[in-house]
């Protein structure tokens, strides 16, 4: 549909383009069920892993007791398959009574009592992606008020089994309806993913007035190929996507799969680093009850989180694609700091990459660089200093770079940069970090 037709139709919906909820000034963080647990609804055969009240209580317990909440992971998000196959006699969506015997409102209280927030899933259309009741246009207001009455804090609004006209009207209507409830509910809309993700089909300025975040591209799968396809698409289209992001409005490349089965240790670090650079939501989909120490160390890395949560909210960019299959990503941060990621797309052996900050468009000056995953700090670094980084195949080296005159202690407005104690001096020859 042409852009002028979109504007005309939206103009007919009073207040539809003003989200005005003040939420998600930094990208949301939390846990979501879908990628790891999918639509497992057989609680007789698989009681520990089925989509049920127990699963979400378990994850809330882990977020509140294992240090996640203090790092910013605050949302527990239900995805598809939570519903009964029919709406109630009053027309409202209802949870499956066997798998959610206490209802969603009781589950919300349980989650809120642990200092966390509840997210839920619905679908613009005749049915959800897995065939449960959808939200047709006549049910948008009813569903918004139902979610608010349950104490929901976040809505993921999908778009399976809907057409372009229903999406065009329904996504803005849900934004208006959520505002009208009077409850602050973060709004994630999947609209761009259903219409190609790019202009002219998607007007991101308009979208940012309706949704707090949006899915742009394919669902993530538990594989390195899937992760690569996502950051390749975002980087290839960064000129269209990067300006759309900012406080309260975020591009969403989908969930973190760290701690599952498809990524090596290096690939897991790569996903965390690039999601931080992209100012992406840090929403895990894994089993928090069984994470190993490597996954914990990556997902709870305070500096990677702080980079992701930087209050300026500027999405980063891919700077370089070298013939050596090394790529460099960059994000500007608060306090004159920057984040750099050196990514190896090679498959052979660790690669020694040589560069300088001047070659990466840094201004003249003296800097220090904190290696996010090794914990080492490189000092005595000028813009002209030649440095070397050793990058594992499909791995990254991630730096937090700041002016040398600036203390590496935490900036007061984030409180999440750790005290960086391990330092060494850089001499006139290359050091590899």
pLDDT digits (tens, 9 = 90+) for 52-111: 999 999 999 999 999 999 999 999 999 999 999 999 999 999 999 999 999 999 999 999
The answer for 193, left when phi > 0, alpha when psi is -120 to 50, beta otherwise, is alpha
Q: Which pLDDT score, from 0 to 100, does residue 327 have?
A: 98
Q: Which CATH superfamily is domain 317-425 in?
A: Golgi alpha-mannosidase II (2.60.40.1180)
Active site residue 219: yes
User: Same CATH topology for 3-308 and 317-425?
Assistant: no
State the average pLDDT for the chain: 92
Q: Which of 79, 80, 158, 209 is catalytic?
A: 158
Region 247-265: mean pLDDT is: 98
Region 372-390: mean pLDDT is: 97
Active site residue 222: no
pLDDT digits (tens, 9 = 90+) for 383-398: 999 999 999 999 999 9
pLDDT higher than 60, residue 432: no
Q: Quote the Cα angle for 410-412-413, to 5°.
A: 115
User: pLDDT category, 407, cuts 50, 70, 90?
Assistant: low
Q: Which pLDDT score, from 0 to 100, does residue 9 have?
A: 52
pLDDT higher than 50, residue 275: yes
3-class secondary structure for 131-171? CCECECHHHHHHHHHHHHHHCCCEEEEECCCCCHHHHHHHH
Alpha carbons 168 and 166: distance in angstroms, whole number: 5
Percent of the residues in the chain that have a pLDDT greater than 70, as a whole number:
89
pLDDT digits (tens, 9 = 90+) for 38-51: 999 999 999 999 99
pLDDT digits (tens, 9 = 90+) for 5-33: 544 455 445 544 457 799 999 999 999 99
Alpha carbons 398 and 277: distance in angstroms, whole number: 10
Q: Which pLDDT score, from 0 to 100, does residue 18 have?
A: 52
Q: Which of 219, 222, 232, 383 is catalytic?
A: 219
User: pLDDT category, 117, cuts 50, 70, 90?
Assistant: very high
Q: Can you give the pTM of this predicted structure?
A: 0.92
Fold of the domain spanning 3-308 = TIM Barrel (3.20.20)
pLDDT, greater one: 73 or 411:
73
Helix (H) or strand (E) holding 112: helix 103-113
pLDDT digits (tens, 9 = 90+) for 214-250: 999 999 999 999 999 999 999 999 999 999 999 999 9
- Domain ranges for the chain, please list them: 3-308, 317-425
């Amino acid at each position: 549909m042409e852009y002028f037709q979109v504007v005309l139709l939206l103009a007919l919906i009073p207040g539809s383009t003003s989200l005005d909820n003040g939420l998600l000034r930094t990208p949301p963080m939390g846990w979501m069920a879908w990628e790891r647990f999918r639509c497992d609804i057989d609680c007789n055969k698989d009681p520990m892993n089925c989509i049920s009240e127990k699963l979400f209580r378990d994850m809330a317990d882990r977020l509140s007791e294992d240090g996640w909440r203090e790092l910013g992971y605050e949302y527990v998000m239900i995805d598809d398959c939570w519903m009964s196959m029919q709406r109630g006699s009053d027309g409202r969506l209802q949870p499956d009574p066997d798998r959610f015997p206490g209802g969603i409102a009781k589950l919300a209280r349980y989650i809120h009592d642990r200092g966390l927030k509840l997210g839920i899933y619905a679908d613009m259309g005749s049915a959800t992606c897995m065939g449960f009741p959808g939200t047709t246009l006549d049910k948008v207001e009813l569903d918004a008020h139902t979610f608010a009455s349950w104490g929901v804090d976040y809505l993921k609004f999908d778009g399976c089994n809907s057409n372009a006209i229903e999406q065009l009207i329904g996504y803005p209507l849900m934004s208006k309806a959520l505002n009208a409830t009077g409850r602050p509910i973060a709004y994630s809309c999947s609209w761009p993913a259903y219409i190609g993700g790019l202009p002219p089909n998607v007007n991101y300025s308009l979208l940012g007035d309706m949704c707090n975040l949006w899915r742009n591209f394919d669902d993530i799968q538990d594989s390195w190929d899937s992760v690569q396809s996502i950051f390749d698409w975002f980087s290839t289209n960064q000129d269209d996507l990067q300006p759309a992001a900012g406080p309260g409005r975020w591009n969403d490349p989908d969930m973190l799969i760290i701690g599952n089965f498809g990524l090596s240790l290096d690939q897991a670090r790569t996903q965390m680093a690039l999601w931080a650079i992209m100012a992406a939501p840090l929403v895990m989909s894994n089993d928090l009850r069984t994470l190993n120490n490597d996954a914990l160390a990556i997902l709870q890395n305070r500096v990677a989180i702080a980079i992701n949560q930087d209050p300026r909210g500027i999405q980063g960019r891919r700077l370089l694609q070298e013939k050596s299959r090394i790529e460099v990503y960059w994000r500007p941060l608060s306090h004159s700091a920057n984040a750099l990621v050196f990514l190896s797309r090679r498959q052979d052996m660790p690669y020694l990459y040589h560069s300088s900050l001047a070659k990466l468009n840094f201004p003249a000056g003296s800097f220090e660089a904190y290696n996010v995953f090794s914990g080492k700090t490189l000092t005595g670094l000028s813009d002209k200093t030649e440095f070397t980084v050793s990058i594992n195949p499909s791995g990254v080296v991630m730096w937090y770079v700041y002016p040398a005159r600036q203390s590496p202690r935490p900036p007061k407005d984030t409180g999440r940069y750790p005290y960086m104690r391990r330092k060494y001096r850089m001499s006139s020859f290359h050091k590899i970090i």
